[in-house]
Structure 1
Protein backbone atom coordinates (compact mmCIF):
# COMPACT_ATOMS: atom_id res chain seq x y z
CA UNK A 1 0.00 0.00 0.00
CA UNK A 2 1.11 3.57 -0.68
CA UNK A 3 -0.53 5.54 2.16
CA UNK A 4 -1.40 4.45 5.69
CA UNK A 5 -3.77 6.45 7.87
CA UNK A 6 -4.34 6.03 11.59
CA UNK A 7 -7.42 7.67 13.06
CA UNK A 8 -10.96 7.25 14.29
CA UNK A 9 -13.79 5.19 12.86
CA UNK A 10 -17.13 6.39 14.14
CA UNK A 11 -20.87 6.44 13.79
CA UNK A 12 -22.14 10.01 13.56
CA UNK A 13 -25.53 11.50 14.32
CA UNK A 14 -25.68 14.88 12.61
CA UNK A 15 -28.28 17.61 12.22
CA UNK A 16 -27.92 20.45 9.72
CA UNK A 17 -30.41 22.86 8.13
CA UNK A 18 -30.82 20.20 5.42
CA UNK A 19 -32.04 17.54 7.85
CA UNK A 20 -31.04 14.99 10.45
CA UNK A 21 -29.31 11.64 10.06
CA UNK A 22 -28.42 8.91 12.54
CA UNK A 23 -25.61 6.34 12.67
CA UNK A 24 -23.73 7.53 9.60
CA UNK A 25 -20.30 6.04 9.02
CA UNK A 26 -17.71 8.68 9.88
CA UNK A 27 -14.45 9.26 11.68
CA UNK A 28 -11.23 10.82 10.43
CA UNK A 29 -9.72 7.57 9.13
CA UNK A 30 -12.82 6.74 7.08
CA UNK A 31 -13.11 10.18 5.50
CA UNK A 32 -9.39 10.39 4.75
CA UNK A 33 -9.01 6.90 3.32
CA UNK A 34 -12.09 7.12 1.11
CA UNK A 35 -10.95 10.42 -0.37
CA UNK A 36 -7.34 9.25 -0.87
CA UNK A 37 -8.54 6.03 -2.50
CA UNK A 38 -9.60 8.04 -5.54
CA UNK A 39 -5.89 8.42 -6.27
CA UNK A 40 -3.90 5.54 -4.78
CA UNK A 41 -3.82 2.50 -2.49
CA UNK A 42 -4.66 3.22 1.15
CA UNK A 43 -4.49 1.18 4.35
CA UNK A 44 -6.52 2.10 7.41
CA UNK A 45 -5.53 1.54 11.05
CA UNK A 46 -8.25 1.86 13.65
CA UNK A 47 -10.59 0.11 16.05
CA UNK A 48 -14.32 -0.61 15.96
CA UNK A 49 -16.76 -2.42 18.22
CA UNK A 50 -18.78 -5.52 17.47
CA UNK A 51 -21.65 -3.26 16.42
CA UNK A 52 -19.68 -2.26 13.32
CA UNK A 53 -21.75 -3.26 10.32
CA UNK A 54 -20.14 -5.72 7.85
CA UNK A 55 -21.64 -3.59 5.07
CA UNK A 56 -19.55 -0.62 6.25
CA UNK A 57 -16.34 -2.65 6.12
CA UNK A 58 -17.38 -3.87 2.66
CA UNK A 59 -17.97 -0.29 1.55
CA UNK A 60 -14.41 0.65 2.50
CA UNK A 61 -13.06 -2.42 0.71
CA UNK A 62 -15.04 -1.58 -2.44
CA UNK A 63 -13.02 1.62 -2.52
CA UNK A 64 -9.87 -0.49 -2.57
CA UNK A 65 -9.01 0.36 1.05
CA UNK A 66 -6.96 -2.23 2.93
CA UNK A 67 -8.85 -2.96 6.16
CA UNK A 68 -6.46 -5.51 7.71
CA UNK A 69 -5.57 -2.83 10.26
CA UNK A 70 -9.21 -2.22 11.17
CA UNK A 71 -9.52 -4.24 14.38
CA UNK A 72 -12.86 -5.29 15.86
CA UNK A 73 -13.06 -5.72 19.65
CA UNK A 74 -15.84 -6.30 22.17
CA UNK A 75 -17.81 -3.15 22.87
CA UNK A 76 -19.36 -0.31 20.91
CA UNK A 77 -17.88 1.77 18.12
CA UNK A 78 -16.98 5.42 18.78
CA UNK A 79 -20.11 7.61 18.55
CA UNK A 80 -20.33 11.34 17.89
CA UNK A 81 -23.43 13.53 17.90
CA UNK A 82 -23.33 17.09 16.62
CA UNK A 83 -25.13 19.82 14.74
CA UNK A 84 -24.42 22.63 12.30
CA UNK A 85 -27.23 25.13 12.59
CA UNK A 86 -26.44 28.84 12.97
CA UNK A 87 -23.00 28.54 11.34
CA UNK A 88 -22.48 25.71 8.84
CA UNK A 89 -18.71 26.12 9.27
CA UNK A 90 -18.82 25.28 12.97
CA UNK A 91 -19.82 21.96 14.50
CA UNK A 92 -21.50 21.98 17.89
CA UNK A 93 -20.74 18.73 19.72
CA UNK A 94 -23.74 17.43 21.63
CA UNK A 95 -22.40 14.06 22.72
CA UNK A 96 -19.19 12.04 22.45
CA UNK A 97 -18.94 8.37 23.37
CA UNK A 98 -15.40 7.09 22.89
CA UNK A 99 -16.35 3.48 23.64
CA UNK A 100 -13.66 1.10 22.26
CA UNK A 101 -11.73 4.04 20.82
CA UNK A 102 -10.92 5.12 24.37
CA UNK A 103 -8.57 2.13 24.71
CA UNK A 104 -7.20 2.23 21.17
CA UNK A 105 -3.68 0.79 20.84
CA UNK A 106 -2.75 0.68 17.15
CA UNK A 107 -1.05 -2.42 15.79
CA UNK A 108 0.87 -2.20 12.52
CA UNK A 109 1.45 -5.08 10.13
CA UNK A 110 4.75 -5.25 8.25
CA UNK A 111 3.01 -3.81 5.20
CA UNK A 112 1.70 -0.86 7.22
CA UNK A 113 5.08 -0.25 8.82
CA UNK A 114 6.79 -0.05 5.42
CA UNK A 115 4.33 2.36 3.80
CA UNK A 116 6.05 5.31 2.08
CA UNK A 117 3.37 7.81 3.09
CA UNK A 118 1.78 8.18 6.52
CA UNK A 119 -1.09 10.35 7.68
CA UNK A 120 -1.64 10.78 11.41
CA UNK A 121 -5.25 11.90 11.63
CA UNK A 122 -6.67 13.98 14.45
CA UNK A 123 -6.24 11.74 17.52
CA UNK A 124 -4.25 11.80 20.76
CA UNK A 125 -0.67 12.88 19.88
CA UNK A 126 0.66 10.10 22.13
CA UNK A 127 -0.94 7.58 19.76
CA UNK A 128 0.31 9.49 16.73
CA UNK A 129 3.87 9.28 18.09
CA UNK A 130 3.53 5.55 18.80
CA UNK A 131 2.54 4.90 15.21
CA UNK A 132 5.37 7.02 13.84
CA UNK A 133 7.87 5.22 16.08
CA UNK A 134 6.49 1.84 14.95
CA UNK A 135 7.34 2.46 11.29
CA UNK A 136 10.15 0.14 10.17
CA UNK A 137 11.76 2.88 8.12
CA UNK A 138 11.02 6.57 8.13
CA UNK A 139 8.30 7.23 5.50
CA UNK A 140 9.09 9.53 2.58
CA UNK A 141 6.33 11.86 3.73
CA UNK A 142 4.50 12.17 7.04
CA UNK A 143 1.60 14.56 7.57
CA UNK A 144 -0.55 15.05 10.64
CA UNK A 145 -3.67 16.83 11.77
CA UNK A 146 -4.65 18.03 15.23
CA UNK A 147 -7.29 20.08 17.04
CA UNK A 148 -7.79 22.57 19.85
CA UNK A 149 -8.33 19.81 22.44
CA UNK A 150 -4.79 18.45 22.02
CA UNK A 151 -3.33 21.96 21.89
CA UNK A 152 -4.95 22.58 25.27
CA UNK A 153 -4.29 19.33 27.13
CA UNK A 154 -1.28 17.69 25.41
CA UNK A 155 0.77 20.59 24.09
CA UNK A 156 4.30 19.27 24.92
CA UNK A 157 3.58 15.90 23.28
CA UNK A 158 1.96 17.62 20.32
CA UNK A 159 4.97 19.90 19.82
CA UNK A 160 7.21 16.82 19.90
CA UNK A 161 5.08 15.19 17.22
CA UNK A 162 5.01 18.29 15.03
CA UNK A 163 8.81 18.43 15.10
CA UNK A 164 8.90 14.97 13.46
CA UNK A 165 6.43 15.40 10.60
CA UNK A 166 6.90 16.87 7.13
CA UNK A 167 3.58 18.68 7.02
CA UNK A 168 0.96 19.85 9.48
CA UNK A 169 -2.59 20.17 8.16
CA UNK A 170 -4.56 22.37 10.52
CA UNK A 171 -7.43 24.84 10.46
CA UNK A 172 -6.91 28.57 10.74
CA UNK A 173 -8.12 29.07 14.31
CA UNK A 174 -6.01 26.18 15.57
CA UNK A 175 -2.90 27.42 13.75
CA UNK A 176 -3.29 30.75 15.51
CA UNK A 177 -4.02 29.08 18.85
CA UNK A 178 -0.99 26.80 18.54
CA UNK A 179 1.44 29.59 17.69
CA UNK A 180 -0.06 32.63 19.40
CA UNK A 181 0.09 34.49 16.08
CA UNK A 182 -3.03 36.30 14.87
CA UNK A 183 -1.73 36.82 11.34
CA UNK A 184 -2.14 33.74 9.13
CA UNK A 185 1.22 33.87 7.28
CA UNK A 186 3.03 34.48 10.56
CA UNK A 187 1.17 31.59 12.17
CA UNK A 188 2.13 29.28 9.31
CA UNK A 189 5.75 30.40 9.55
CA UNK A 190 5.71 29.74 13.30
CA UNK A 191 4.35 26.23 12.67
CA UNK A 192 7.20 25.51 10.26
CA UNK A 193 9.69 26.81 12.82
CA UNK A 194 8.55 23.87 14.97
CA UNK A 195 9.87 21.43 12.37
CA UNK A 196 7.55 20.75 9.41
CA UNK A 197 8.74 21.57 5.89
CA UNK A 198 5.32 22.94 5.02
CA UNK A 199 1.87 23.51 6.42
CA UNK A 200 -1.62 23.59 5.00
CA UNK A 201 -4.15 25.83 6.71
CA UNK A 202 -7.78 24.85 6.16
CA UNK A 203 -10.13 27.83 6.00
CA UNK A 204 -13.54 26.24 5.54
CA UNK A 205 -15.71 27.95 2.94
CA UNK A 206 -12.79 30.27 2.09
CA UNK A 207 -10.55 27.47 0.83
CA UNK A 208 -7.05 26.56 1.97
CA UNK A 209 -3.56 28.04 2.04
CA UNK A 210 -0.32 26.17 1.47
CA UNK A 211 2.88 27.51 3.02
CA UNK A 212 6.44 26.35 2.42
CA UNK A 213 9.79 27.73 3.46
CA UNK A 214 10.08 29.84 0.31
CA UNK A 215 6.55 30.06 -1.10
CA UNK A 216 2.87 30.33 -0.28
CA UNK A 217 -0.27 29.65 -2.27
CA UNK A 218 -3.98 30.15 -1.59
CA UNK A 219 -6.77 28.16 -3.24
CA UNK A 220 -10.44 29.15 -3.00
CA UNK A 221 -13.13 26.65 -2.13
CA UNK A 222 -15.49 25.46 -4.82
CA UNK A 223 -18.62 27.64 -4.48
CA UNK A 224 -21.77 25.82 -3.36
CA UNK A 225 -25.33 27.07 -3.22
CA UNK A 226 -26.37 24.44 -0.69
CA UNK A 227 -24.33 22.51 1.86
CA UNK A 228 -25.80 19.27 3.18
CA UNK A 229 -23.30 18.00 5.76
CA UNK A 230 -19.76 19.35 6.20
CA UNK A 231 -18.74 16.61 8.66
CA UNK A 232 -15.38 15.18 7.61
CA UNK A 233 -14.64 17.80 4.96
CA UNK A 234 -11.22 18.58 6.47
CA UNK A 235 -10.28 14.89 6.65
CA UNK A 236 -11.49 14.39 3.09
CA UNK A 237 -9.40 17.36 1.99
CA UNK A 238 -6.33 15.83 3.62
CA UNK A 239 -7.02 12.50 1.92
CA UNK A 240 -7.39 14.10 -1.48
CA UNK A 241 -4.29 16.18 -0.88
CA UNK A 242 -2.02 13.27 0.04
CA UNK A 243 -3.52 10.93 -2.52
CA UNK A 244 -2.91 13.43 -5.27
CA UNK A 245 0.62 14.09 -4.06
CA UNK A 246 1.36 10.39 -4.38
CA UNK A 247 -0.38 10.01 -7.72
CA UNK A 248 1.25 12.94 -9.49
CA UNK A 249 4.26 13.77 -7.34
CA UNK A 250 6.72 14.31 -10.19
CA UNK A 251 4.55 16.65 -12.24
CA UNK A 252 2.83 18.66 -9.54
CA UNK A 253 2.69 22.40 -9.60
CA UNK A 254 1.90 24.42 -6.50
CA UNK A 255 -1.46 25.30 -8.04
CA UNK A 256 -2.41 21.64 -8.47
CA UNK A 257 -1.38 20.96 -4.87
CA UNK A 258 -4.28 22.65 -3.19
CA UNK A 259 -7.09 22.86 -5.72
CA UNK A 260 -8.18 19.31 -6.60
CA UNK A 261 -8.41 17.82 -3.13
CA UNK A 262 -10.42 20.81 -1.96
CA UNK A 263 -12.94 20.07 -4.69
CA UNK A 264 -13.16 16.51 -3.30
CA UNK A 265 -13.93 17.85 0.17
CA UNK A 266 -16.56 20.21 -1.22
CA UNK A 267 -18.13 17.27 -3.07
CA UNK A 268 -18.60 15.65 0.32
CA UNK A 269 -20.18 18.78 1.76
CA UNK A 270 -22.57 19.04 -1.17
CA UNK A 271 -23.63 15.39 -1.30
CA UNK A 272 -23.54 14.73 2.43
CA UNK A 273 -21.05 11.83 2.54
CA UNK A 274 -18.35 10.30 0.37
CA UNK A 275 -19.95 6.88 0.59
CA UNK A 276 -22.16 7.46 -2.47
CA UNK A 277 -21.04 4.69 -4.81
CA UNK A 278 -17.82 3.47 -6.33
CA UNK A 279 -15.30 5.75 -7.88
CA UNK A 280 -12.63 4.05 -9.96
CA UNK A 281 -14.43 4.33 -13.29
CA UNK A 282 -14.82 8.09 -13.00
CA UNK A 283 -11.35 8.77 -11.62
CA UNK A 284 -9.88 9.58 -15.04
CA UNK A 285 -12.48 12.29 -15.62
CA UNK A 286 -11.67 13.79 -12.23
CA UNK A 287 -7.98 14.05 -13.16
CA UNK A 288 -8.86 15.79 -16.41
Structure 2
Protein backbone atom coordinates (compact mmCIF):
# COMPACT_ATOMS: atom_id res chain seq x y z
CA UNK A 1 0.00 0.00 0.00
CA UNK A 2 1.27 3.47 -0.84
CA UNK A 3 0.38 6.52 1.26
CA UNK A 4 0.67 10.04 -0.12
CA UNK A 5 0.96 12.84 2.46
CA UNK A 6 0.61 16.45 1.31
CA UNK A 7 0.94 19.41 3.66
CA UNK A 8 3.28 21.48 5.76
CA UNK A 9 6.83 20.79 6.82
CA UNK A 10 7.80 23.55 9.21
CA UNK A 11 9.81 24.85 12.12
CA UNK A 12 7.69 24.84 15.29
CA UNK A 13 8.33 26.68 18.53
CA UNK A 14 6.12 25.31 21.29
CA UNK A 15 5.63 26.15 24.95
CA UNK A 16 3.66 23.92 27.34
CA UNK A 17 3.41 23.74 31.13
CA UNK A 18 5.87 20.84 30.85
CA UNK A 19 8.58 22.35 28.67
CA UNK A 20 9.55 24.47 25.72
CA UNK A 21 11.21 23.86 22.34
CA UNK A 22 12.29 26.35 19.68
CA UNK A 23 12.59 25.86 15.92
CA UNK A 24 12.10 22.09 15.99
CA UNK A 25 11.04 20.03 12.99
CA UNK A 26 7.26 20.31 12.74
CA UNK A 27 4.31 20.73 10.44
CA UNK A 28 1.23 18.57 9.95
CA UNK A 29 2.72 16.59 7.05
CA UNK A 30 5.87 15.88 9.06
CA UNK A 31 3.96 14.57 12.07
CA UNK A 32 1.58 12.44 10.01
CA UNK A 33 4.27 11.07 7.69
CA UNK A 34 6.55 10.17 10.59
CA UNK A 35 3.77 8.34 12.43
CA UNK A 36 2.57 6.54 9.31
CA UNK A 37 6.11 5.46 8.42
CA UNK A 38 5.95 2.88 11.21
CA UNK A 39 3.23 1.06 9.28
CA UNK A 40 3.61 1.69 5.54
CA UNK A 41 5.56 3.35 2.74
CA UNK A 42 5.06 7.12 2.77
CA UNK A 43 5.41 9.56 -0.09
CA UNK A 44 5.73 13.21 1.00
CA UNK A 45 4.81 16.35 -0.94
CA UNK A 46 5.66 19.64 0.78
CA UNK A 47 7.79 22.77 0.44
CA UNK A 48 10.67 24.03 2.57
CA UNK A 49 12.97 27.02 2.31
CA UNK A 50 16.69 27.43 1.83
CA UNK A 51 17.12 27.48 5.62
CA UNK A 52 15.86 23.90 6.00
CA UNK A 53 18.82 21.80 7.17
CA UNK A 54 19.84 18.52 5.57
CA UNK A 55 19.64 16.85 9.00
CA UNK A 56 15.84 17.19 8.87
CA UNK A 57 15.67 15.75 5.35
CA UNK A 58 17.90 12.92 6.54
CA UNK A 59 15.56 12.30 9.48
CA UNK A 60 12.67 11.82 7.05
CA UNK A 61 14.78 9.55 4.84
CA UNK A 62 15.83 7.48 7.87
CA UNK A 63 12.12 6.86 8.50
CA UNK A 64 11.96 5.54 4.89
CA UNK A 65 9.80 8.48 3.83
CA UNK A 66 10.09 9.11 0.09
CA UNK A 67 11.06 12.80 -0.15
CA UNK A 68 11.16 13.16 -3.94
CA UNK A 69 8.13 15.42 -3.55
CA UNK A 70 9.83 17.69 -0.99
CA UNK A 71 10.45 20.94 -2.85
CA UNK A 72 13.16 23.35 -1.70
CA UNK A 73 12.15 26.91 -2.65
CA UNK A 74 13.91 30.24 -2.45
CA UNK A 75 13.08 31.88 0.87
CA UNK A 76 12.43 30.79 4.44
CA UNK A 77 10.63 27.70 5.72
CA UNK A 78 7.15 28.00 7.26
CA UNK A 79 7.31 28.79 10.99
CA UNK A 80 4.66 28.39 13.68
CA UNK A 81 4.89 29.46 17.31
CA UNK A 82 2.28 28.47 19.86
CA UNK A 83 1.60 27.60 23.43
CA UNK A 84 -0.57 25.09 25.22
CA UNK A 85 -2.04 25.13 28.70
CA UNK A 86 -2.99 22.00 30.55
CA UNK A 87 -5.67 21.33 27.91
CA UNK A 88 -3.20 20.06 25.32
CA UNK A 89 -5.85 19.84 22.59
CA UNK A 90 -6.16 23.65 22.57
CA UNK A 91 -3.27 25.56 21.05
CA UNK A 92 -2.89 29.31 21.18
CA UNK A 93 -1.08 30.54 18.09
CA UNK A 94 1.44 33.26 18.95
CA UNK A 95 3.04 33.69 15.53
CA UNK A 96 2.65 32.27 12.03
CA UNK A 97 5.13 32.98 9.25
CA UNK A 98 3.97 31.26 6.06
CA UNK A 99 7.11 32.16 4.09
CA UNK A 100 7.55 29.71 1.15
CA UNK A 101 4.40 27.87 2.22
CA UNK A 102 2.33 30.92 1.20
CA UNK A 103 2.88 30.19 -2.50
CA UNK A 104 2.91 26.37 -2.18
CA UNK A 105 1.07 24.69 -5.04
CA UNK A 106 1.45 20.91 -4.66
CA UNK A 107 2.73 19.25 -7.82
CA UNK A 108 2.36 15.51 -7.39
CA UNK A 109 5.31 13.63 -8.95
CA UNK A 110 4.37 11.05 -11.57
CA UNK A 111 5.75 8.27 -9.33
CA UNK A 112 3.20 9.25 -6.63
CA UNK A 113 0.06 9.47 -8.79
CA UNK A 114 -0.84 5.81 -8.20
CA UNK A 115 -1.01 6.28 -4.40
CA UNK A 116 -3.82 4.18 -2.97
CA UNK A 117 -4.26 6.25 0.20
CA UNK A 118 -4.04 10.04 0.41
CA UNK A 119 -3.72 12.18 3.53
CA UNK A 120 -4.45 15.84 2.92
CA UNK A 121 -2.75 17.56 5.82
CA UNK A 122 -3.83 20.97 7.04
CA UNK A 123 -3.65 23.11 3.89
CA UNK A 124 -6.04 25.34 1.95
CA UNK A 125 -9.09 23.27 0.90
CA UNK A 126 -8.68 24.49 -2.69
CA UNK A 127 -5.22 22.91 -2.71
CA UNK A 128 -6.58 19.74 -1.14
CA UNK A 129 -8.98 19.32 -4.06
CA UNK A 130 -6.22 20.14 -6.54
CA UNK A 131 -4.13 17.32 -5.06
CA UNK A 132 -7.01 14.87 -5.52
CA UNK A 133 -7.33 15.88 -9.18
CA UNK A 134 -3.68 14.84 -9.65
CA UNK A 135 -3.98 11.37 -8.06
CA UNK A 136 -5.32 8.37 -9.99
CA UNK A 137 -8.39 7.07 -8.16
CA UNK A 138 -7.22 6.67 -4.53
CA UNK A 139 -9.05 4.03 -2.48
CA UNK A 140 -9.08 6.09 0.73
CA UNK A 141 -8.79 9.84 1.34
CA UNK A 142 -8.31 11.42 4.77
CA UNK A 143 -8.06 15.11 5.52
CA UNK A 144 -7.16 17.47 8.32
CA UNK A 145 -8.38 21.04 8.63
CA UNK A 146 -8.48 23.79 11.23
CA UNK A 147 -10.45 26.77 12.50
CA UNK A 148 -8.73 29.11 10.01
CA UNK A 149 -10.16 27.22 7.01
CA UNK A 150 -13.52 26.55 8.67
CA UNK A 151 -14.00 30.26 9.23
CA UNK A 152 -12.28 31.71 6.18
CA UNK A 153 -13.02 29.15 3.43
CA UNK A 154 -16.10 27.32 4.64
CA UNK A 155 -17.70 26.88 1.20
CA UNK A 156 -14.48 25.54 -0.31
CA UNK A 157 -13.93 23.26 2.68
CA UNK A 158 -17.44 21.83 2.35
CA UNK A 159 -16.72 20.98 -1.31
CA UNK A 160 -13.50 19.23 -0.26
CA UNK A 161 -15.24 17.26 2.49
CA UNK A 162 -17.53 15.67 -0.12
CA UNK A 163 -14.41 13.96 -1.54
CA UNK A 164 -13.03 12.76 1.81
CA UNK A 165 -13.59 9.43 3.57
CA UNK A 166 -12.03 10.36 6.94
CA UNK A 167 -11.89 13.79 8.60
CA UNK A 168 -9.44 14.46 11.44
CA UNK A 169 -10.50 17.40 13.62
CA UNK A 170 -10.67 18.18 17.31
CA UNK A 171 -13.77 18.90 19.37
CA UNK A 172 -13.58 22.67 18.92
CA UNK A 173 -13.29 22.32 15.15
CA UNK A 174 -16.23 19.89 15.08
CA UNK A 175 -18.36 22.39 16.97
CA UNK A 176 -17.25 25.25 14.72
CA UNK A 177 -17.86 23.25 11.54
CA UNK A 178 -21.38 22.15 12.50
CA UNK A 179 -22.60 24.85 14.89
CA UNK A 180 -23.48 22.05 17.34
CA UNK A 181 -22.20 22.25 20.92
CA UNK A 182 -23.13 18.62 21.63
CA UNK A 183 -20.31 16.50 20.20
CA UNK A 184 -22.56 13.52 19.46
CA UNK A 185 -24.82 15.76 17.37
CA UNK A 186 -21.76 17.37 15.76
CA UNK A 187 -20.38 13.95 14.79
CA UNK A 188 -23.71 12.95 13.27
CA UNK A 189 -23.88 16.23 11.34
CA UNK A 190 -20.40 15.67 9.94
Bin of the TM-score, shorter chain as denominator length: over 0.9
Q: Structure 1 pair 174/122, CA: closer, same or farther in 2 (3 Å)?
A: same
Give distance in 2, aligned partners of 1:170 and 1:14.
Answer: 20
May I ask how many residue pairs the two structures share in their alignment? 190
Give distance in 1, aligned partners of 2:89 and 2:170.
Answer: 11
Give distance in 2, aligned partners of 1:20 and 1:179.
Answer: 34
User: How much does 1:86 deviate?
Assistant: 5.3
Q: TM-score, normalising length from structure 1?
A: 0.64
Give distance in 1, aligned partners of 2:125 and 2:183.
Answer: 23
**SS of corresponding position for 2:38:** coil
Deviations, residues 131-184 of structure 1 (Å, cap 9, x unaligned): 01111x210000111111111110110000001111111111211211122222
In structure 1, the gaps of 5 or more residues are 192-288
Give the aligned partner of residue 279 of structure 1.
none
Deviations, residues 85-136 of structure 1 (Å, cap 9, x unaligned): 354332111111000000001111122111000000111101101101111x
Give the aligned partner of residue 138 of structure 2.
139
Give distance in 1, aligned partners of 2:42 and 2:5.
Answer: 8
**SS of corresponding position for 2:11:** strand
Q: TM-score, normalising length from structure 2?
A: 0.96
Deviations, residues 257-288 of structure 1 (Å, cap 9, x unaligned): xxxxxxxxxxxxxxxxxxxxxxxxxxxxxxxx
Larger radius of gyration between Structure 1 and Structure 2:
1
Give distance in 2, aligned partners of 1:119 and 1:85.
Answer: 28
Give distance in 1, aligned partners of 2:49 and 2:25.
Answer: 13
Give distance in 2, aligned partners of 1:49 and 1:162.
Answer: 30
User: How much does 1:22 deviate?
Assistant: 1.2
Give the aligned partner of residue 9 of structure 1.
9
Looking at secondary structure, tell me which structure has more helix per residue.
1
Q: Which runs of 4+ in 1 moved over 4 A?
A: none
Give the aligned partner of residue 70 of structure 2.
70
Please state if 1:124 is matched with 2:90: no
